[in-house]
Chains A and B, each alone.
Chain A
Amino acid sequence: MIEVKGISKRFGTTQVLTDINAVFQKGKVNQIIGKSGSGKSVLAKCIVGLHVPEEGQVLYEGHSFHDMDRDEKKMIRQEIGMLFQGSALFDSITVMQNVLFPLQMFGTMSKSEMEDRAHSCLKRVNILDKDRLFPAELSGGMQKRVGIARAIAMNPKYLFCDEPNSGLDPQTSILIDDLIKEITEEFNTTTIVITHDMNSVMETGENIIFIHQGRKWWEGSKDDLLNSENKELNEFIFAGGLMRQVKKAMTGRS
């Protein structure tokens, strides 16, 4: 479980996050939704410690990340898997080597066990045939999938996915949603998914946080989502006609 308490983050004079409080449950797919530029990625980076917030703290199983010493932080980080919005694959090594990287760095497995593990991760994201290519030779969606394979390689306790299905076709997108859900339930992972894909919100969202202009604007489950009276939230989710039809079909109201 991860708790976020009163986090505020500025860059220079621009206030990006203001007093965010949230709890991310273990064994659940927690989602952060919100418009482009609302501060979702910055929030995720504050949680994992890549940005240091000016105020507030992040608790991993009740322990403040900020107060940990260097080695404790390292231990936590070895339990974190993160998919970056831009994938952030190491571009001087192949797809296979990218997935092997955390295993070689921290794993205690033998060489062939590591290779098996990397293979099975690549297989789960359906990209096994590309293992010898370099990241630059992949499409954006393929890079995303390799990023996921690398993030899950170590069986992380905490899984962060920044827009895992942007750039993916609907079919692959569902495959990735299902995979994230499966892993979360199978390993009791604390999973945080950032998305603006309403399809995957309806598919996997269990605990949803809506960020608007750097503040937590709304929080609830996907069932609450359709019945919410929150104006900005409704503007966000019903921006596309499809969701209006979904709501109509499900609630009989428009």
Chain B
Amino acid sequence: MGIIEHIGRYFLLLKDTFSRPEKASIYWRRTVEEMDLLGLKSLGIVALLSFFMGAVITIQTKTNIDSPLIQAWVVGFATRQSTILEFSPTIIALILAGKVGSNIAAEIGSMRVKEQIDALDIMGVNSAGYLILPKIVASMFINPFLVMVSMFLSIFGGYVAGTASGIIGSSDYLQGIQTNFIPYHITYALIKTVVFAFIIATVSAYQGYYTKGGTREVGISSTQAVVYSNVVILIVNYALTQFLLI
């Protein structure tokens, strides 16, 4: 299948996914389960990663701009800006594509090869809607929270690393992270996050839903889910940055 056919089939799958649910209450219950599974279960890795990411940004910024001409607070400022604008929304999305995306593709893919999707279809259930829609809604709802936690912990990580190693004073850092704060940057980051969440859930679900064969193919789908989600995220990130920031 060529790329055009894949894109066409992807949009047809989306159309099925968003067609009328059989029973709203069941979809809602599934969405809450998915929030737990896709969102809260990723909190640990997101927190850990963000803390160390912030720490490294601070140390690197300091070592790169170590000049008497540049004021001390700039390190805090730079940490905050790179965290909010890029690191938290994009890096966390890439990490979630790896963790959540592979999980979605493997789950749906193994349901496909074990004929469980056929079993849903045979009952008259809209299998695409039932399996995929809750994952999309849950990801788009929960990922912004994960990213906000990430922002906070990254900036906090920078503070801890900066003050513990003595490269920046506590008050300089705190001054830096409050300087020239533009609330729109948070909005921008959250818009990106929601779009990325949609990409992760749908691209991965697509890979899983059209798995053919057996367990080996489920593995392949799962890998492709991560690769394609990442590629699409990077391209869309570029487009959104251009569109929203300039």
Q: Which residues of A contact B (CB under 8 A)?
A: 45, 48, 50, 73-78, 80, 82, 84, 86, 88-91, 101-102, 104-106
Q: Cβ of B122 and Cβ of A105 under 8 Å apart? A: no
Interchain CA distance A73-B126 in the complex, whole Å: 11
A-contacting residues, B22-56, CB 8 Å: 22-23, 26
B115 touches A86 (CB 8 A): yes
Given A77, A105, A106, which contacts B121 in the complex, CB threshold below 8 Å? A77
| Contact partners of A104 in chain B: CB under 8 A | 23, 26
Known pairs A84-B115, A90-B111; list 18 more (Cβ under 8 Å): A45-B118, A50-B118, A73-B124, A74-B124, A75-B124, A80-B123, A82-B122, A86-B114, A88-B118, A89-B116, A89-B119, A90-B116, A101-B123, A105-B22, A105-B23, A106-B23, A106-B123, A106-B124
Q: Does B125 lie at the interface of the complex (its beta carbon under 8 Å from any beta carbon of A)?
A: yes
Interface size on B, residues (CB 8 A): 14
5 closest Cβ contacts across the A-B interface?
Answer: A77-B124, A88-B115, A78-B124, A88-B119, A74-B124
Are the CB atoms of B116 and A105 closer together than 8 Å? no
Shortest Cβ gap from B41 to chain A (Å): 15
Q: Interface majority SS on A: helix, strand, loop or mixed?
A: helix
The contact of B114 among A45, A76, A88, A106, by CB within 8 Å, is A88
A173 to chain B, nearest CB (A): 22
| Min CB gap B109→A, angstroms | 13
6 sampled A-B residue pairs with Cβ under 8 A: A48-B122, A77-B123, A88-B116, A88-B118, A90-B119, A101-B123
The secondary structure that dominates the B interface is helix
Q: Which of B22, B26, B118 contacts A84 (CB 8 A)?
A: B118
- Residues of the B chain whose Cβ atoms lie less than 8 Å from the Cβ of A82: 119, 122
Chain A-chain B contacts (Cβ-Cβ < 8 Å), number: 50
Residues of B near A86 (CB, < 8 A) are 114-115
Chain B residues with CB under 8 Å of chain A are 22-23, 26, 111, 114-116, 118-119, 121-125
- With A50-B121, A82-B122, A105-B125 in contact, is A91–B116 under 8 Å at CB? yes
Contacts of B124 in A (CB 8 A): 73-78, 80, 106
Please give, as numbers and ranges, the residues of chain B lying within 8 Å of A89 by CB-CB distance: 116, 119
Residue of A86, A88, A91 with highest tally of chain B CB at under 10 A: A88
Chain A nearest Cβ from B154, distance in angstroms: 34
Chain A residues near B119 (CB-CB < 8 A) = 82, 84, 88-90
Q: Provide the bound-state CA to CA distance between A78 and B125, in Å.
A: 8
Is B122 touching A77 in the complex (CB atoms < 8 A)? yes
* Residues of chain B within 8 A of A80, CB atoms compared: 122-124
A62 to B118, CA, bound (A): 24
Min Cβ gap B153→A in Å is 32
List residues of chain A with CB within 8 A of the CB of B22. Answer: 105-106
**Which residues from B are CB-within-8-Å of A84?**
115, 118-119
